[in-house]
Amino acid sequence: MSGKFERRALLGRALAFGALGALTGCDYDHPHHPDLADRALRAMSSWNDRVQAALFDPATLAPTYRPDQITRPPRFNAYYDLDQVRVVDGESWKLDLFGAIAERRPWRLAELRAAPQESQITRLICVEGWRVVGQWNGVPLHWFLRRIGADLRARYVSVRCADGYYSSIDMASALHPQTILALDFLGRPLTPPFGFPVRLRTPTKLGFKNPKSLVALGVTNVDPGGYWEDQGYNWFSGS
């Protein structure tokens, strides 16, 4: 269990319903004493991770859309406001590789541009409940993982971002044909608010599992967690 997970109590203030009130302790704001309800909810969230992994069919594709169905203007969303977006220098940018990878040499943007590309018009569903349709183009992650000699039997693909955001996905979802290292959005190179220079696009998962402005990618068997996941959002968060 990650300590960060405990920082924010899942329960918050007192419950409206008495029957559930019996489950709550009085220490739920204390990071080292998650109450009974917090622990029960975490256990259920882990169970839901396993159920979603079992439900995940590698051959089921996320629905694709026509160009006229693309949401315009695109919707910006992050854990900060638009004016706080970090601007990455594409010339000096590199993608660091770590973990169970045979060739851990960093990748430059031009090298990713020269790799095979996959284009998709897919839907992004936010955990909040809204959805948008966008067009992304980039390097299939399954191609990239094979190219760098990643251990495809490892459990997690972990990513870190220029803005401090981080997340991780299961290997089965990483190898899904529609999971790409996106370089273009709406037919042009990604702009900083939408993840320049590289965004992990995972159309089989919720929006927050699509981290932007990647700076490092690793393969590991130790649960890397994530920015939102560690605060209590369900880790698998598949669609």
Partner 1 sequence: MRSPRSRPIHPWPLRVMHWLNALAILTMIGSGWQIYDAAPIFSFRFPTSITIGQWLGAAIAWHLAAMWLLVLNGIAYLAWGALSGHFRRKLAPPTPRALWRDAVLALRLRLDHRHGVYNAVQRALYLGVIALGVLAVLSGLAVWKPVQLWWLSDLFGGFRASRVVHFLAMAGIVGFLAVHLALVALVPRVLWPMIGGGSAAEEVP
Q: Which residues bind partner 1 (CB under 8 A)?
A: 8-13, 15-17, 19-20, 40-42, 44-45, 48, 55-57, 60-63, 123, 125-131, 203-204, 228, 231-234, 238-239
CB 153 → partner 1: shortest distance, Å?
A: 23
Place of tokens 């598949």: 238
Per the DSSP assignment, residues forming a β-bridge with 166 are 160
- Please, which residue, 20 or 87, has the CB nearer to partner 1? 20
What is the largest distance, in Å, between two alpha-carbon atoms of the chain?
61
| Closest approach of partner 1 to the CB of residue 198, in Å | 23
Half-sphere exposure of 75 (CA within 13 A, CB side): 12
- What is the smallest separation between the CB atom of 96 and partner 1, expressed in angstroms? 29
Please name the residue ranges forming H helices in the chain. 3-7, 18-21, 36-55, 109-114, 141-147, 171-174
Q: Which residue, 210, 211, 182, 204, is CA-closest to 58?
A: 204
Tokens read off for 162: 């220029």
Cβ 235 to partner 1 shortest distance, Å: 11
Q: How far is the CB of 154 from partner 1 (least distance, A)?
A: 23
Contact at 8 Å (CB) between 138 and 183? yes
Nearer to partner 1, 218 or 232 (CB): 232
Place of tokens 């949401």: 71
Choose between 12 and 106: whose C-beta lies nearer to partner 1.
Answer: 12
**Spatial distance between the Cα atoms of 107 and 16, rounded to a whole number of angstroms:** 52
Tokens 């130790």 belong to residue: 222
Nearer to partner 1, 163 or 229 (CB): 229
Task: Calculate the alpha carbon distances from 116 to 12, 64, 132, 230 in Å.
Answer: 47, 20, 26, 34
Nearer to partner 1, 143 or 233 (CB): 233
Residue closer to partner 1, measured from CB, 6 or 219: 6
Read off the tokens for 226: 């994530």
Between 220 and 231, name the residue whose CB sits nearer to partner 1. Answer: 231
CB atoms within 10 A of CB 86: 14
Smallest distance from the beta carbon of 228 to partner 1, in angstroms? 7
> Minimal distance in Å, beta carbon 140 to partner 1?
18
